[in-house]
Each structure stands twice: as structure tokens, then as C-alpha cells.
Amino acid sequence: MKAAGERRARCGPSIGHAALRRVALALLVAGCAAAFPCAFAAQIQPPPTAAQRSAAKAAALARDPRLLPSAAKDRWQGFDPDKIAAGDMPAALGDVREALADGDLPLAIAALHAALEAQPDFPPALHQLGVLYFRLQRYGDALVCFQRFLGVAPDRVAETRGLAHALYSLGRYAEARAHYERVVAAAPGDAEARRGLALARYRGGDAEGALADLNAVLESEPDHADAWTWKAQVLLDLDRPEEARVAAERARDLAPWTSRPWFVLSTACTDLGQPKAAQAASERFQRLAEVDQEIRRLEARLEYEPGDLAARRTLVESLASVGDRRSVRTQLARMLQQRPGDVALRIFALDVLDGLGDVEAGGLTARDLERVGAESAAAWKRLEAWYAKVRDRTKQIEAGERWRRLSRP
């Protein structure tokens, strides 16, 4: 959730119940099979131009999801993802799958609108549409989709934590709390719903209740950095600064690149009369907060324009500057996927991973660079330095010989 101090790219995956996400993916893949009769026609049609794609995305983003056609009464009564007939799946689900694979959320929204035009109120499409609207911070539209999903599939409460997330993000904390309680009752093991319930309780002034819920989250997921951060914040409000310091340090150790744990740690140290520690944590918070603002700006840009290579490269550099290895790996993978034959981009990736000391990912990138840059002197020169760094003498000698041979006029 936005108020939880997380970057939006990390909020998106938490919105959908894991089981339904797997079901939705299976349905999208099956949708490709359902669309097979159209495959020949698609082959003889030219692919849409960039201008056509942009127009389709703009039109989809301008649409009001409340105006989507409605299914006949009780059309989806007793909806069970395991029992969906092939004829129920709109062909446009194949386009949704492709757009999601490319990270193009607006294009996926356009395809979902098409799917819902063809098969009104198809529950997996409604749910996925809500997820994507939420990721784009269109919380009102997300709320519409999740409410409609629950309306046509009322037995699927366990999959509607996104509805509560949307209410929370709109500042409707009492309503969010009520729905989180419904989700937790239906899915007691849903840690993200319980974390949301904790935050809704906290916003409503129930710090003790929030603390109990956060402890429940941490019992099932002891490495949940955000839950530790909020636990520290709640403990501060309960005037328990020493416990808050311990919780904040735990959050900091789990996610040292995230700004909020450092802020809470600084406050706890101030309350404990530890000015030097408080100052150090405050300075680190300010540095990370500045970078985080740039990261969020770039992530928002890439949600709409996933093909903007310059923005993604800058995002990688920003993430690397704060040491967020996991996110760096994710963004580099996206870049290399977009440019499968780009030698310079793989050298850049190896430079970044080398700077982070990420030997595992660096080794995989080095092997990829050997393949893509087999005839590139620059590639082998960089590989020589890499293999020297990781002390692989045999590979270092081989790379050195290759780049010197390729450098000869």
C-alpha cells in the first residue's frame, strides 16, 4: 500500500491472492489455446504500429470500468476457476498474457477491456484489471473492479484483499479494516491481508490491535521487512522505544536500501538519548529518501512505457546505488530480454553486478556475454577483467587471448 512506505513495484504482487494469480495465469495461457482459430488470421494481419498501440492504451486508460457491459444475472454464480469451460475464455486473454510478459500494463488493460467486452464480468479478467489499476495508482478504478469481482463471485472473498488495499489507499480506513477482517476470516494464512488489517487498525487509533496483527504476520513470515518497520513505528507510538529500536534494526538489516526503517530507527535512538546513532540513521534516511523518490518516478514511467531503455538503465543505476540487488537483477533481466543481441548492454549489466559484488548473477551474465559477444573485442576485454576478479585463471587467460586476437587490425 502506498502509505506503507513501499515502492509501488513491490505493492503490485501483494495485491492478488497467490492461488488466484496462478489460476489467472493458467487461464491466460489457456486463453491462447482458445484463440487458436484466430491464429491464421492474425498471421496475415500486420502487427500494430507503435502509434496504434499508443492509441489503444490511451483509449483504454480513458475508459471508466463502471461502464463495462454486465453479464446476465447469476451468469457466474458458483464460479470455480477449476471448472471454467474453454468457451468461457475470451480470445483477448492471449493479448493480456503477451502484454504482461512485456511489462506493458496499459496495453494489458486495453486487452482486458476487450476480454470483458467479449465475455462480460469474466471473474479472472475483472480481478486482473483491478490489480493493474492498483499498480498504476488508479485506486478508484481498482475498487470498482474488485467490488464487481466480488459481486459476481461472492464466494471468493479470500481473493479480494485488493479491494481492502484500494479502500486503504483512498483513505477509507474503517471500510478497509472491515474488509480486511473479512479476508482474514476467509484466509487466515494471508499475511499481506493481516498486515493491511494491522495498518488499518493503526490508522484508526488501535495501536495495540495493530501490534498484535503485525506480530502474527512476523510469526508466519519472520523476514517481512515492512512488517518489522511498522512494528517499530507502532512500538514508538506505545512509548516503547527500546523495543522499537530492536524492530527497526531488524527491518534495516532485512532491507537496508529502504528509507523508512532508518527514519524509525533515528526516532527511536532520539527517544533513547542516543544522538550519534540517531544522526547517523537520519543521514542515511535522507540519502535513501532522495534516491527512492527518483526510483519511484522511474518505475512509474516504466509502468506506462516499458520499452524506455534509457529510463530502465537509469533505474538500474539508482537501485544499484542503494544496494538493492534483487531489484537490480529484475530490471537487468528485463533490459536483456528487450535487447537479446546487445553486447554493450551486457557489458553494462556485468559492470553493475560487479560493482554490487553479485558474483552469482555476474557469472550468469558473463556466460551470456560470451555467447552474444563471441566476436566482440570489447566483450572479451571486459570478460578478462571479470574472470580475474573472480580468480578463474583459465577463463581469464582465454578471454585475454580472445580480445587481443579480435583487436588486431
Q: Kindly list the distances between the CA atom of residue 99 and the CA atoms of 49, 142, 263, 407, in Å, as whole numbers in the listed order.
A: 15, 19, 38, 41
* Sequence-ordered list of residues with C-beta below 8 angstroms from that of 141, at least 6 positions apart, any chain: 64, 65, 133
Average pLDDT estimate for 138-156: 96
Identify the pLDDT of residue 30. 34
Buried b (16+ CB within 10 A) or exposed e, 7-28: bbbebbebbbbeebbebbeebb
Average pLDDT estimate for 143-172: 97
Over 90: is that where the pLDDT of 149 sits? Answer: yes
* Sequence-ordered list of residues with C-beta below 8 angstroms from that of 62, at least 6 positions apart, any chain: none
Is 160:191 a contact under the CB 8 Å cutoff?
no
Over 60: is that where the pLDDT of 2 sits? Answer: no
- Give 253's pLDDT tier (boundaries 50, 70, 90): very high
Q: Cβ-count burial of 157 within 10 angstroms (0-12 exposed, 13-18 middle, 19+ buried)? A: middle
The three state secondary structure string of 230-262 is HHHHHHHHCCCHHHHHHHHHHHHHHCCCCHHHH
Residue 8 grid cell: 509501488
Quote the CA–CA distance of 259 and 338 in Å, as a whole number. Answer: 30
**pLDDT tens across 99-142, in order?**
999 889 999 999 999 999 999 999 999 999 999 999 999 999 99
Q: Kindly list the distances between the CA atom of residue 387 and the CA atoms of 185, 345, 382, in Å, as whole numbers in the listed order.
A: 54, 18, 9
Identify the pLDDT of residue 47. 66
Identify the pLDDT of residue 46. 65
Percent of the chain exceeding pLDDT 70 equals 89
Over 60: is that where the pLDDT of 193 sits? Answer: yes
Between residues 5 and 326, the one the model is more confident about: 326
Over 80: is that where the pLDDT of 3 sits? Answer: no
Residue 29 grid cell: 495461457
Give the gyration radius of the chain's Cα atoms.
Answer: 24
Q: Kindly list the distances between the CA atom of residue 293 and the CA atoms of 102, 318, 343, in Å, as whole numbers in the listed order.
A: 24, 10, 31
**pLDDT tens across 328-375, in order?**
999 999 999 999 999 999 999 999 999 999 999 999 999 999 999 999
**pLDDT tens across 295-341, in order?**
999 999 999 899 999 999 999 999 999 999 999 999 999 999 999 99
